[in-house]
């Protein structure tokens, strides 16, 4: 009877040892690995990220931040005859000269045909034409005209070397309006097109401008040129 009880005790001791060993091993693994994310860390992340109950960033907060940036900075695209054409971020209220200097003008940049003092607008493209694109015209000693921030010439530098023919790559808005069938709205679209896409390579390219079809082109083709 004593031997049976002793044997039972031995079995119980072995079982207890196995259970304790398993529990201790599991505890040791938990201690070594640790929790992936603690409750305090989750709380801190939620507070720092301003997360709402659905786990998304509130749109109203994001909009306010974007508005703050938009009020203090602008982004413009400088293209054409510059050393480093590309997209640049500048303080709001910057001038065309600031963007051109960031992109780096070249010896061929026709800067005297631009209004470098114009205030930049967010999202605009500034096209710096080369002297060759201007049409080989000699720069005047005293500039009375210039080019808008978008690259559109003004005050008389748009006339082609061909008498009576308008260079659509350099013509001012007023000169474009002198063409048959071209009003202020269409003249502005022509300027916007060449600013965004570069100079017209052929006179036929003007048909890419919205509002100028084959019929209107027939009226214009003898009155326009591209160089």
- pLDDT tens digits, one per residue of 3-24: 556 677 777 778 777 787 776 6
Indicate the SS3 state at residue 95. strand
pLDDT per residue over 133-145, tens digit each? 766 444 433 333 3
Say if 73-149 and 158-227 have the same CATH topology.
no
Are 159 and 166 contacting, i.e. CB atoms less than 8 angstroms apart?
Answer: yes
Between 197 and 157, the more confident residue is 197
Mean pLDDT of 156-169: 57
Mean pLDDT of 49-72: 50
Query: How much is the mean pLDDT over the chain?
Result: 72
Please give the CATH topology (third level) of the domain spanning 73-149: Ubiquitin-like (UB roll) (3.10.20)
Domain ranges of the chain: 73-149, 158-227
Lowest-confidence pick of 19-33, 87-101, 176-190: 19-33
CATH of domain 158-227: 1.10.150.320
User: What is the bridge-based pairing of β-strands 73-80 and 125-128?
Assistant: parallel
Greatest alpha-carbon span in the chain: 131
pLDDT per residue over 39-58, tens digit each? 333 334 334 434 344 343 44
């Amino acid at each position: 009877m004593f031997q049976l009880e002793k044997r039972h005790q031995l079995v119980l001791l072995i079982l207890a040892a196995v259970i304790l060993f398993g529990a201790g091993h599991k505890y040791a693994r938990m201690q070594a690995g640790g929790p992936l994310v603690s409750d305090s860390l989750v709380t801190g992340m939620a507070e720092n990220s301003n997360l709402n109950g659905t786990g998304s960033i509130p749109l109203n907060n994001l909009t306010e931040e974007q508005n703050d940036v938009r009020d203090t900075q602008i982004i413009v695209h400088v293209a054409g005859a510059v050393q480093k054409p590309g997209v640049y971020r500048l303080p709001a209220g910057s001038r065309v000269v600031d963007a051109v200097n960031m992109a780096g003008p070249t010896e061929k940049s026709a800067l005297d045909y631009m209004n470098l003092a114009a205030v930049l607008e967010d999202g605009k493209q500034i096209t710096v034409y080369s002297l060759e694109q201007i049409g080989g015209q000699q720069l005047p000693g005293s500039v009375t005209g210039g080019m808008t921030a978008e690259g559109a010439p003004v005050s008389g530098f748009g006339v082609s070397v061909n008498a009576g023919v308008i260079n659509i790559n350099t013509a001012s808005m007023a000169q474009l309006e002198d063409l048959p069938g071209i009003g202020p709205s269409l003249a502005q679209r022509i300027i916007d097109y060449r600013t965004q896409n570069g100079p017209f390579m052929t006179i036929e390219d003007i048909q890419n401008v919205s509002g100028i079809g084959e019929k209107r082109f027939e009226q214009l083709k003898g009155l326009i040129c591209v160089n």
